[in-house]
Amino acid sequence: MKELEDLAGANGIAIVEGNLPGKERGRWYAEPRIIVLQAGMPLDYTRTTLGHELGHATHNHDMSTPDARIHYFQERQADEYAARLLISEESYRKAERMHGAHFAGIAHELKVTVELIHVWRDLWHRKDKKWHDNNCLRRSKRSNSRKKNAARTQSDTS
């Protein structure tokens, strides 16, 4: 928690606890740069929520937008920021070795919510797919180049 509080402080963001309406766990106020966290949350919810709200702050989100598409995009962007901030590939792999595919166990080990584990895994799969697609494309281009060279060599010898 200390590292998140330090990050907020370094960016001029105050963190306070309070009673938020409904099931809301946190809220970012751009002016006066305050994050309000629901009082009394367990550590995993507090860390995840603080990381999420720091995502809103980092991306300068305007939380008053009435546009549902923009709101969804901002929420997703804040979730992805929190996932990158709170979960490293190394720490995930270590937790996964300990707990297998049991997401609740992995989340407990990393002190984040299960929802954030799913966000991190989605990011990781997109990154892995991009790497895979790029490497397959390179292999395909090399293969096509070899075929063309072989065809040229064949026609040159004929």
The model's pLDDT over 78-120, given as tens digits with 9 standing for 90+, comes to 999 999 999 999 999 999 999 988 999 999 999 999 999 999 9
- List, for the chain, all residue ranges whose pLDDT scores fall below the cut of 50: 131-132
- What integer pLDDT is reported at residue 66 of this predicted model? 86
DSSP string for the chain: -HHHHHHHHHTT-EEEEE--STT--EEEETTTTEEEEETT--HHHHHHHHHHHHHHHHTT--TT---HHHHHHHHHHHHHHHHHHH--HHHHHHHHHHHTT-HHHHHHHHTS-HHHHHHHHHHHHHHHHHHHHHHHHHHHHHHHHHHHHHHHHHHHH-
pLDDT at 86: 96
pTM, entire model:
0.78
pLDDT of res. 5:
94
